[in-house]
Amino acid sequence: MGDSYTVNDIQVLKGLEAVRKRPGMYIGDTGIGGLHQLVWEIVDNSVDEALNGHCDTIKVVMERDGSVTVEDSGRGIPIETHPSTGKNTVETIFCSLHAGGKFDDDTYKVAGGLHGVGASVVNALSAKMLVRVRRNGFLHTQEFQRGIPVSPLVKEKPAHGTGAKISFLPDPEIFGSLRFSTEIIRERLEIKAFLIAGLKIILVDHIENTTQTFCYPEGIKDFLNHIMEDHEPVGAQPFYCFNQNDLRFEAALAWTSETSGKILSFVNSIPTPAGGTHENAFRNAFTKVIRSYIEKRNGLPKGVKGVSAEDIKEGLFAILSVYLNGNLEFQGQTKDRLNSLEAQHIEPALRAAFETWLHQNPSQAQAISSRVLLSAQARLASRAARDEVTRKAATTRLALPGKLADCSLNSRDKTELFIVEGDSAGGSSKQARDRRFQAILPIRGKILNVEQASLEKLRNNREITSLIQSVGTGIGKNFDYSKLRYGKIIINTDADVDGHHISTLLLAFFYRFLPDLVHKGHLYLALPPLYRIRIGSGKNSRVKYVFTDKEKEALLKRRNIKDVEIQRFKGLGEMDAPTLKSTTMDPSSRSILRVTVDDEMKTHRIFDTLMGKDVRKRFVFIKERSQEVHELDI
């Protein structure tokens, strides 16, 4: 910097300071997610060049020193003095926070990321950054530290071609973890390569010494094939359409005969896992076209009144990629739901394209409409079964299930229902409870997996009916919150694998059929200990309860004690009443966790994965999550 500060310099410093003070506001968090956000911001600038047809190759290198280098074959960042700052354009882009909108709305038709402030945010949060630009026949470089230039823009040796190359080292003062994940970066880069047909993306990892190249000449058609893996499309041939005019978008989709499916949507090549306006418009378009096709051609089968958006979704695999010009608006806790209204305008174009395609491909159209009618019929059958379960529970409501040991108090805000596994745990819980406000319902064995079971099966499941009766509210359209009989519903299962499985099944049941109780915070998990450890003997002995093997090992190692007695609880039934009381039942000493739903979509997906039919998916999930589960903190 020069020796006199201008108003501009002060503004720049203030901007960067704001980023360093509240990094979360700009990149979400300062953990693994925020760390990787830095890479996305820089890569997205290269991707913007590619999206606008100026770049065919992007290379991302994970360096041994923890820095990342991103290089593109675009036009290179302009180096001339920028009229609004009086500085060169590189410095302007990398140091001014509020010079958003890519400075000039005409330069870029579409842009992703933080609307042009991405580069300065990454710079502010990097201990070091080196920018290299090939342009006008020369290499130009400039260096920064924590967002502040430490060199001028230097014109170096002559260089062929054009492009930008940026290396940055995330600042350890800001980030908790500095370890980039090849897998996370790979996944994101592969998606970019799928979304921009023909773009070549190379990922080099100098830590593991691996190089991977992604290039998909058929773009989202290749992407659809990839996510469908070994799923057979109904009607053999996927539908594909694109629009290059005012509103740029592309879609590829196919139905399978299975019930699972996957819709992946993107805006300006950024994933929108929670959907939003574009995805809704997409669903509407296909629902309307298929609905009118069925009504015109076949007519609806007996008993089926109409085709819903849900029916269309069943077995559907789809990629939707939309590009918008203006500022993108996102919604939701994790900002991954698109909220921009312009995206709705894809609906008429999608409808027209799909309609034409159906008329030109009658055999495909026939296969797809049969497939959709099948889900409509299945939906009606399960609705009928669900209503019957509710009716049964509702009519016998006055007679509470025989297995329920009810409490004497009636007031809902003081009472608690403990759901325990098996008669033996039921027996000891009855001894340990305070019968004035604590009720016990023993459940036998594993209750039905509600994600997989047809609703027909639910109806005949005794455990489920007695659960619904005890809770009192009814389910489905008969749900009545005012009839809730207990303020806390506490799931108390053994601390072993079977116990975890049963509590997961119960959680899934509540989440799917009594979601209001979960949202309103009535559901709890008790955490029974796995071991009792008595340290010392006689009068001076102390007792500690521990919840995991890891915790036990840690305790024994830390204390380095000789005189210990360890008791492992095989189940709640084996615990004596005082132990059970103090660890999971007595409000003054127990450990219980309230079940909350942070992110609806995520929870939805987690249950799908845990309880759904795809065993492989379930395995991956459990493997990936197991570490988190061990670290569960109370």
What are the catalytic residues?
Answer: 421, 494, 496, 498
Of residues 115 and 412, the one with the C-beta less far from ligand 28F: 115
Out of 26, 30, 50, 72, the residue judged to bind ligand 28F by CB under 6 A: 72
Of residues 130 and 556, the one with the C-beta less far from ligand 28F: 130
Out of 12, 35, 42, 533, the residue judged to bind ligand 28F by CB under 6 A: 42
Please report where in the chains the tokens 């990839």 appear, as a residue: 226
Q: Which of residues 101-160 bind ligand 28F (CB under 6 A)?
A: 102-104, 107
User: At closest approach, how far in Å is the CB of 192 from ligand 28F?
Assistant: 13
Q: What is the DSSP string of 501-528?
A: HHHHHHHHHHHHH-HHHHHTT-EEEE--
Query: What CA dihedral angle connects 455, 459, 460 and 466, to 10 degrees?
Result: 130
Q: What is the DSSP string of 237-267?
A: S-EEEEE-SSSEEEEEEEEBSSS--EEEEEE
Contact between 513 and 452 under an 8 Å Cβ cutoff? The reply is: no
User: At closest approach, how far in Å is the CB of 32 from ligand 28F?
Assistant: 22
Long-range contacts of 390-393 (CB under 8 A, 24+ apart): 390/468, 390/474, 390/475, 390/476, 390/477, 390/478, 391/478, 392/459, 392/465, 393/465, 393/468, 393/469, 393/474, 393/475
Binding segment toward ligand 28F, per CB under 6 A, in 40-48, 210-218, 271-279, 342-350:
40-48
Burial 423-435 (b: 16+ CB within 10 A, else e): eebbbbbbebbee
Of residues 19 and 610, the one with the C-beta less far from ligand 28F: 19
DSSP state of 325: S
Site string for ligand 28F, 75-104 (x = CB under 6 A): x-xx----------x---x--------xxx
- Joined tokens for residue 236: 């053999």
Amino acid at the residue 292: S
Contact between 42 and 77 under an 8 Å Cβ cutoff? The reply is: no
Q: What's the rounded Cα separation, in Å, for the pair 575 and 427?
A: 11
Phi, psi for residue 345 in degrees, rounded to 5: -70, -5
Binding segment toward ligand 28F, per CB under 6 A, in 67-75, 144-152, 459-467, 499-507:
67-75
Binding segment toward ligand 28F, per CB under 6 A, in 73-81, 138-146, 422-430, 580-588:
73-81
Binding segment toward ligand 28F, per CB under 6 A, in 45-53, 258-266, 609-617, 620-628:
45-53
Of residues 325 and 504, the one with the C-beta less far from ligand 28F: 325
User: At closest approach, how far in Å is the CB of 102 from ligand 28F?
Assistant: 5
Q: Residues binding ligand 28F: what is the number (CB under 6 A)? A: 19
Q: What's the rounded Cα separation, in Å, for the pair 201 and 190?
A: 8
DSSP state of 418: E
User: At closest approach, how far in Å is the CB of 45 from ligand 28F?
Assistant: 3
Out of 45, 96, 142, 375, the residue judged to bind ligand 28F by CB under 6 A: 45
Q: How far is CA 268 from the centre of its chain?
A: 19
Out of 16, 39, 51, 70, the residue judged to bind ligand 28F by CB under 6 A: 70
Binding segment toward ligand 28F, per CB under 6 A, in 1-9, 72-80, 485-493, 526-534:
72-80
Of residues 78 and 152, the one with the C-beta less far from ligand 28F: 78
Binding segment toward ligand 28F, per CB under 6 A, in 30-38, 74-82, 403-411, 615-623:
74-82
Of residues 162 and 429, the one with the C-beta less far from ligand 28F: 162
List the one residue out of 129, 117, 70, 127 whose CA is nearest residue 92.
117
User: At closest approach, how far in Å is the CB of 197 from ligand 28F?
Assistant: 20
Please report where in the chains the tokens 């309880």 appear, as a residue: 611
Of residues 59 and 291, the one with the C-beta less far from ligand 28F: 59
CA atoms lying within 13 Å on the CB side of residue 185:
29
Contact between 379 and 310 under an 8 Å Cβ cutoff? The reply is: yes
DSSP state of 578: H
Binding segment toward ligand 28F, per CB under 6 A, in 41-49, 153-161, 260-268, 381-389:
41-49
Assign 366 to helix, strand or coil: helix
User: At closest approach, how far in Å is the CB of 202 from ligand 28F?
Assistant: 13
Amino acid at the residue 193: A
Q: What's the rounded Cα separation, in Å, for the pair 333 and 543?
A: 43
DSSP state of 363: H
Assign 73 to helix, strand or coil: coil
Which H or E run contains 38? helix 32-51
Of residues 76 and 275, the one with the C-beta less far from ligand 28F: 76
User: At closest approach, how far in Å is the CB of 75 from ligand 28F?
Assistant: 4
User: At closest approach, how far in Å is the CB of 336 from ligand 28F?
Assistant: 23
List the one residue out of 282, 294, 404, 274 whose CA is nearest residue 358.
294
- Site for ligand 28F contains 268 (CB under 6 A): no
Out of 41, 49, 347, 463, the residue judged to bind ligand 28F by CB under 6 A: 49
Of residues 89 and 579, the one with the C-beta less far from ligand 28F: 89
Site string for ligand 28F, 455-484 (x = CB under 6 A): ------------------------------
Binding segment toward ligand 28F, per CB under 6 A, in 68-76, 267-275, 327-335, 452-460:
68-76
Of residues 112 and 474, the one with the C-beta less far from ligand 28F: 112
Phi, psi for residue 587 in degrees, rounded to 5: -55, -25
User: At closest approach, how far in Å is the CB of 245 from ligand 28F?
Assistant: 23
Out of 46, 167, 369, 429, the residue judged to bind ligand 28F by CB under 6 A: 46
User: At closest approach, how far in Å is the CB of 71 from ligand 28F?
Assistant: 6
Of residues 47 and 264, the one with the C-beta less far from ligand 28F: 47
User: At closest approach, how far in Å is the CB of 322 from ligand 28F?
Assistant: 22
- Joined tokens for residue 180: 């980039």
Please report where in the chains the tokens 């493997």 appear, as a residue: 623
Q: What angle do CA 169, 171, 176 make, to 5 degrees?
A: 115
List the one residue out of 133, 128, 103 whose CA is nearest residue 118.
103
Of residues 76 and 315, the one with the C-beta less far from ligand 28F: 76
Q: Which residues are registered as beta bridge partners of 81? A: 88
Q: Which of residues 158-197 bind ligand 28F (CB under 6 A)?
A: 164, 166
Q: What's the rounded Cα separation, in Å, for the pair 346 and 348?
A: 6
**Which residues lie near ligand 28F (CB under 6 A)?**
42, 45-46, 49, 70-72, 74-75, 77-78, 89, 93, 102-104, 107, 164, 166
